[in-house]
Chains A and B, each alone.
Chain A
Amino acid sequence: MKKNRKWPAVYLALIFIILYAPIFYLIFYSFNSGGTMYQFEGFTLDWYRELFADTRLLIIVLNTVIIALLSAAISTIIGVAGALAIAYARKRRVKNTLLSLNNVLIVSPDVIIGASFLILFTMIGLKLGFVSVLLAHIAFSVPIVVLMVLPKIEEMSTSMIYAAMDLGASRLDVLTKVILPYITPGIFAGFFMALTYSLDDFAVTFFVTGNGFTTLSVEIYSLARRGVSLNINALSALLFLFTIILVTGYYFITKRNEKPNGMGVRQ
């Protein structure tokens, strides 16, 4: 009996170790004064200092953040409109068509999205750079926002809308004073997902970024292809910290969303 209890724990522990070891391995060697990823010579913060002194990298980080915030904001607006369109489509067939078209970009491999956007932007004659990357990020974030917002709209009872209309609210009032406040948690979740997708994206950006413009992922890729440099380790340590903050934030947002009805239903 005791043996039965032990093995599962060992297995899970092993999985956890395997999942986290590479990340901590990276972070550990970011403090290595030796300059390699195999021989720890002494503790140093030089790599971090070098990182913060690197203005080019700081500009890249800034670019990445601006792209992420802008694309998340714009895709949230389009996505909310899309979710409303899907939810209030009267014909079943229209609704299903819109939903399947919505999901195309979610299931498509990044290479295909990247390659097809590259063709698209070249055909339009758009110069590759900030705008093309921004457009691409908006494009692949929209369906995620739709998927996050749609369930919220569908769970909302239509009687609330009818009540508002009976009380003399215009369509705009219904939208801004009834629907939008109700689906706000979904909108936040969608914005957040769009933000992380944009920050994390490599493959699509790699295709549509020109020579002059770089985001962090693309920069990491080109650095990593050149081999090991502990700058990347220092960078990954900071990004890991940042990710943990983001995930915790996201965790609390979804927790807060679930509480009101989750508690109500379960009890």
Chain B
Amino acid sequence: MRTNSRNFYLIPYVLWILLFVVTPLLLVLYYSFFDIEGHFTLENYREFFTPVYLKMTLSSFWYAFLITLFSLLIAYPTAYLLTKTKHKQLWLLLIILPSWINLLLKAYAFLGIFGTYGAANSFLEVMGIGSRQILFTDFSFIFVSVYIFLPFMILPIFNSLDELNPTLLDASNDLGGSSWVTFKRVIFPLTLDGVKAGCQIVFIPALSLFMLTRLIAGNRVITLGTAIEQHFLVTQDWGMGSTIAVFLIIAMVLIMVLTGRRKRGIL
């Protein structure tokens, strides 16, 4: 009787797992071994290791790294200061609110702001620097990405700072630690989990968001995600697209392991 009812819960859920989690991943792996005409081949993997794709992968990682770094540098002080405010949950909600607005609309807003006659250029004009091309540059891509990912970085850091036991800070103070030492030796190590979670949340999408590169960076920046989209929906070369997807999955798993909660694995 008991096992029966347990099986009854399991059926739809396990079906879902098999159909939409296991099968798609296996299909991506399977397709990566076929060329555009449907012949079995390892050509896709060979091609991935040619300079063209390696360079793209490297630059994709480099952009994702920069985006994560800048988000972290801006988000950490923000989260720290937020925990010091009076109605911190409300302020946090207000920081998170923009992340609920459709990402495309935010990207679209920057088409106006960074446009030739947009607000950013009028500002530069007033400052006496003069207007210049902002849209479709590396700068605009990184700026908009950081803008979009910022709330996702702030949230986990805020949570870990919020859980921090304040007596530890008093202890550090009493033992003569300067505020910098307290930060370096006490606050930062204890909030490392939040930082790791934030980096994970930002880095993986930064590798793969194709709509941002398309809208904001023109075709200047090609990330792994853009390449996958290109192969699947434009050139219809699903094999090559799947191969890149396989490497993106590998990268994702590596990042998860590196930023995983199990501290013992790394240090």
Contacts and interface: CB of A to CB of B under 8 A. Distances in A.
B13 A81 contact: yes
B24 A239 contact: no
B101 A39 contact: no
Interface string B73-99: 010011001101100000101110110
Contacts of A57: none
B208 A112 contact: yes
Given A82-B16, A109-B225, A207-B233, A12 B78 contact: yes
Interface in B112-129: 112-113, 115, 117-119, 122
B123 to A, nearest CB: 11
A164 interface: no
A73 interface: no
A78 B112 contact: no
A1 interface: no
B223 to A, nearest CB: 9
A88 B9 contact: yes
Contacts of B109: 22-23, 25-26, 236
B262 to A, nearest CB: 13
Contact of A38 (B93, B106, B117, B238): B117
Given A111-B210, A115-B28, A19 B98 contact: yes
B207 A109 contact: yes
Interface string A233-267: 00110011001101100010000000000000000
B115 A119 contact: no
B43 to A, nearest CB: 19
B82 A119 contact: no
Contact of A15 (B1, B10, B95): B95
A15 to B, nearest CB: 5
A35 B117 CA distance: 13
Given A11-B81, A111-B210, A25 B6 contact: no
Nearest to B24: A116
B232 A207 contact: yes
Contacts, number: 221
Consensus secondary structure, chain B interface: helix
Contacts of A23: 98, 101, 105-106, 109
Interface stretch (B46-54, B155-163, B165-173, B245-253): B245-253
Contacts of A216: 102
A244 B17 contact: no
B56 interface: no
B152 interface: no
B218 to A, nearest CB: 11
Contacts of B211: 202-203, 206, 221
- The prevalent SS among residues of A at the interface is helix
A82 B13 CA distance: 5
Nearest to B22: A101
A217 B102 contact: yes
A139 interface: yes
B16 A12 contact: no
B256 to A, nearest CB: 7
A15 B25 contact: no
Contacts of A206: 211, 229, 233
A48 interface: no
Interface in B195-217: 200, 204-205, 207-211, 214-215
Contacts of B27: 116, 119-120, 123
27 contacts: A12-B82, A16-B95, A18-B147, A23-B101, A25-B109, A101-B21, A102-B17, A102-B21, A107-B200, A107-B252, A109-B252, A112-B208, A113-B24, A115-B28, A115-B228, A119-B27, A200-B103, A202-B104, A206-B211, A220-B105, A221-B211, A224-B104, A228-B115, A232-B105, A236-B101, A236-B102, A243-B97
Interface of B: 1-2, 5-6, 9-14, 16-17, 19-25, 27-28, 31, 74, 77-78, 81-82, 84-85, 91, 93-95, 97-98, 100-113, 115, 117-119, 122, 147, 150-151, 200, 204-205, 207-211, 214-215, 224-225, 228-229, 232-233, 238, 241-242, 245, 248-249, 252, 256
